């Protein structure tokens, strides 16, 4: 624990010391006017430090011994409702997401941590801290717009006023009974647009107000973090069918303003439950990555959660299909992984999916290099990931680049169909120990000298070099399976002599097969 005199204090709670050290060393705390850094290894210790030092920012892991992060924050919120909270998680389940919003976390960040994302979250945490204190001073004093003050009350889970929430709302001129219905719509503007980019935003919300008045409903709205528009709807009668109809109309009204996602929360009864509708809308919006651009995301009946398939093999299977030059098989494979990611969206996080797609792009890049295809791309793989705001955008880019790969292969085939036939024959027969220049020459009905000369000229490799490297690449993939014996791998890639296989592998890779498995694939 490090404690110094400063304007602000931050508490880092994580059971991994390396994670805590990494956060301490990586952030420019002085730029946030934070000079007191507190550390705890579990929720119990974190709660004790929070009670003693009252930090303005808490950065906490979710899963920890003694007391987990959500339990700790629930208790901290009782005496520090203004503190900005940032949840960290490397787990694929989304229980923590519900908790992160329910305990009014500023942000959840995924492990491994992205420095810029964490800095942005700290900035938001301090902003929330100031906004909370400002709104607490201003509620009932006329320094904020009444509508903004109302939404501040309705979206505050940790309300602890001297009077009831219903009474506080009444002071602002809004009388809600226990039977009043609430539902929340959340709009997220994309493509770099913010709410302020639309000068007629009040005119658009006026259209919403006029439309829902036909159903006896009223609305309150405000923007948040510039990118979001929050609309609280309330009235004496609501049902799921009506709210879905209204959401479609609102989506249409704002369609001319700019591309956006719209999420619709669940209907709740009573002002004390209004926050739950807001929470449900936020949770749906957190999953917008798994929807097409401009989608409307609405509550659905509980459905069976699809088990996440083993995505670790996606890249190797994709690379295998590319090396076989199997266009139809590759296309079907890409369709299947898109469906797998989409159906398991409730169990996945965007950064997990982006990491898997990064590996798929690498496999495509390696296949292009092996086929001597020059991409001459000005964009990098990281550019593809940064520019993709949805799963579908990311997938469409991969499909586009894959098609370019096969188009280039087609051009190569036209230039020299014999080389293509030879490479295809090797791809289908590399596991045969009898594969040789002679068997290949016989297959293409050409003399051995001609085949060797032609292949060297077109690929800048001898035929034997190509066969060996092809087998070694296959062996590298097989070595990823720790349960497969090296002697079996040797046989599977066409070697009858395990010692010769080991020497060939080390010549091309620089490591023996066992060293490669141990050092390169921990």
Q: What CATH number does residue 190 fall under?
A: 3.30.70.3400
Beta-carbon count within 10 A of 215 CB:
14
Q: Let me know: does 475 contact 513? Beta carbons within 8 Å.
A: yes
The CA angle 359-360-364, to the nearest 5 degrees, is 115
pLDDT band at 126 (very low <50, low <70, confident <90, very high): confident
Lowest mean pLDDT across 349-353, 486-490, 495-499? 349-353
pLDDT of residue 5: 43
* Contact (Cβ atoms closer than 8 angstroms) between residue 144 and residue 138: yes
Clarify whether residues 392 and 505 are in a common domain: no
**Co-location of 287 and 315 in the same domain:** no
Query: For 385-412, what is the HEC assignment?
Result: HHHCCCHHHHHHHHHHHHHHHHHHHHHH
Number of domains in the chain: 4
Q: Is the pLDDT of residue 287 over 50?
A: yes
Residue 205 maps to a domain: yes
In a domain, 396, yes or no: yes
405 with 442, same domain: the answer is: no
**Cα 230 to Cα 262: distance, rounded to the nearest angstrom:** 10
Q: Model confidence over 437-480: pLDDT tens digits?
A: 999 999 988 899 989 988 888 888 899 999 999 999 999 989 88
Averaged pLDDT, 225-251: 90
More confident: 521 or 267: 267
Compute the Cα dihedral for 155, 161, 167, 168 and give only its sign.
negative
pLDDT for the residue 51: 94
Looking at the structure, do residues 411 and 428 belong to the same domain, yes or no?
no
Residues 359-394 pLDDT 10s:
999 999 999 888 877 655 656 888 888 778 889 999
Distance in angstroms (rounded) separating the CA atoms of residues 430 and 419: 16
Q: Is the pLDDT of residue 189 over 90?
A: no
On the 0-12 / 13-18 / 19+ scale of CB atoms within 10 A, 475 is: buried
Q: Which residues pair with 9 in a beta bridge?
A: 36
Residue 460's domain is classified under what CATH number? 1.10.10.60
Residues 151 and 217 in one domain: yes
| 73 and 41 in a common domain | yes
Which domain range does residue 401 map to? 311-415
Question: Per the domain annotation, does 478 fall within a domain?
Answer: yes
Quote the CA–CA distance of 159 and 475 in Å, as a whole number. 61
Please answer whether residues 121 and 86 qualify as being in contact, where contact means their C-beta atoms are separated by less than 8 angstroms.
Answer: yes
Region of poorest pLDDT, from 115-124, 196-205, 231-240, 329-338 = 196-205
pLDDT class of 90 with cuts at 50, 70, 90: low
Q: Which of the listed residues 382, 415, 448 is the one where a domain comes to its end?
A: 415
pLDDT at 317: 92
Residue 68, pLDDT > 90, answer: no
Chain centroid to Cα 162, Å, comes to 41
Instruction: Say whether pLDDT at 339 is over 60.
Output: yes
Last residue of a domain, which of 275, 297, 319? 297
| Shared-domain flag, residues 121 and 40 | yes
**Given this model, what pLDDT does residue 504 score?**
92
Encode 437-455: b = buried (16+ Cβ within 10 Å), e = exposed. beebbeebeeeeeebbebb
Pairing of strands 181-189, 268-269: antiparallel
Is residue 288 within 8 Å of 263, Cβ to Cβ?
yes
Helices (H), 238-390: 240-255, 274-286, 314-323, 327-343, 350-370, 381-387
Is residue 3 included in any domain, yes or no? no
* Collapsed DSSP state (helix, strand, coil) of residue 456: helix
Query: Where residue 144 falls among pLDDT bands split at 50, 70, 90?
Result: very low
End-of-domain residue from the set 297, 332, 352? 297
Q: Is the pLDDT of residue 212 over 90?
A: yes
What is the Cα gyration radius of the chain? 29
CA distance 154 to 352: 33
What mean pLDDT comes out for the span 345-351?
76
Name the nearest CA neighbour of 310 among 290, 330, 289, 340: 340
Question: Looking at residues 486-493, what average pLDDT do you find?
Answer: 92
Asked whether residue 4 carries a pLDDT value surpassing 60, the answer given is no
Quick one: pLDDT at residue 304? 54
Maximum average pLDDT range among 139-148, 281-290, 360-369: 360-369
Q: Can you read off the two tokens belonging to residue 329?
A: 């098989």
Q: Which residue has the higher pLDDT, 106 or 250?
A: 250
- What is the rounded average pLDDT of the residues 78-102? 70
Yes or no: say if 225 and 124 are a contact pair by the CB < 8 Å rule: yes
Tokens standing for residue 316:
């190797």
With respect to residue 138, please indicate whether it lies within any of the assigned structural domains.
no
Domain check: are 404 and 500 in the same one?
A: no
The per-residue pLDDT for 431 is 94
**pLDDT, tens digit, for every residue of 414-432?**
556 788 889 889 999 999 9
**Shared domain check, 220 and 320:** no
Q: Are 318 and 364 in contact (CB under 8 A)?
A: yes
Are residue 224 and residue 249 in the same domain, yes or no?
A: yes
What does the block give as tokens for 196? 């302020």
């Amino acid at each position: 624990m490090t404690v110094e005199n400063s304007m602000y204090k931050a508490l880092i709670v994580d059971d991994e010391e390396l994670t805590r050290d990494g956060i301490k060393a990586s952030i420019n705390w002085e730029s946030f006017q934070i000079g007191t850094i507190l550390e705890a290894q579990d929720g119990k210790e974190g709660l004790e430090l929070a009670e003693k030092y009252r930090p303005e920012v808490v950065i906490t892991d979710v899963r920890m011994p003694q007391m987990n992060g959500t339990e700790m924050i629930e208790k901290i919120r009782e005496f520090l409702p203004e503190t900005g909270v940032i949840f960290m998680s490397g787990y694929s389940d989304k229980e923590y997401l519900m908790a992160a919003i329910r305990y009014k976390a500023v942000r959840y960040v995924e492990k491994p941590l992205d420095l810029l994302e964490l800095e942005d979250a700290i900035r938001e945490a301090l902003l929330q801290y100031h906004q909370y204190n400002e709104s607490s001073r201003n509620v009932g004093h006329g320094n904020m717009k009444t509508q903004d003050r109302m939404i501040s009350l309705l979206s505050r889970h940790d309300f602890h006023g001297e009077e009831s929430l219903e009474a506080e709302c009444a002071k602002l001129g809004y009388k809600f009974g226990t039977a009043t219905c609430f539902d929340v719509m959340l709009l997220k503007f994309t493509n770099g647009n913010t709410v302020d980019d639309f000068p007629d935003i009040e005119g658009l919300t006026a259209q919403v107000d006029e439309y829902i008045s036909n159903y006896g409903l009223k609305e309150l709205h405000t923007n948040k973090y510039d990118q979001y528009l929050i609309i609280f709807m309330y009235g004496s009668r609501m049902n799921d069918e009506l709210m879905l109809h209204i959401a479609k109309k609102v989506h249409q009204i704002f369609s001319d303003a700019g591309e956006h996602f719209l999420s619709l929360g669940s209907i709740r009864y009573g002002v004390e439950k209004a926050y739950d509708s807001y929470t449900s809308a936020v949770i749906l919006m957190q999953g917008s990555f798994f929807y097409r651009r401009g989608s409307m995301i609405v509550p659905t009946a509980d459905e069976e959660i699809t088990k996440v398939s083993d995505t670790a093999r996606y890249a190797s299977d994709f690379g295998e299909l590319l090396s076989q030059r199997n266009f139809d098989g590759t296309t079907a494979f890409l369709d299947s992984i898109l469906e797998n990611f989409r159906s398991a969206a409730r169990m996945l996080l965007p950064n997990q999916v982006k990491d898997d797609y990064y590996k798929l792009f690498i496999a495509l890049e390696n296949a292009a290099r092996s086929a001597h295809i020059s991409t001459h791309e000005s964009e990098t793989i990281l550019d593809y990931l940064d520019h993709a705001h949805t799963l579908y955008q990311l997938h469409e880019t991969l499909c586009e680049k894959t098609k370019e790969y096969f188009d280039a292969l087609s051009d190569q085939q036209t230039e020299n169909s014999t080389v293509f036939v030879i490479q295809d024959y090797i791809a289908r027969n590399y596991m045969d120990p009898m594969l040789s220049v002679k068997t290949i020459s016989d297959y293409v009905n050409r003399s051995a000298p001609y085949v060797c000369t032609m292949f060297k000229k077109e690929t800048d490799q001898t035929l034997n070099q190509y066969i060996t490297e092809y087998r070694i690449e296959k062996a590298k993939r097989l070595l990823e399976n720790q349960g497969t014996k090296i002697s079996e791998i040797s046989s599977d890639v066409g070697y009858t002599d395990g010692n010769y296989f080991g020497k060939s592998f080390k010549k091309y890779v620089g490591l023996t097969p066992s060293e490669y498995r141990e050092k390169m694939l921990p």
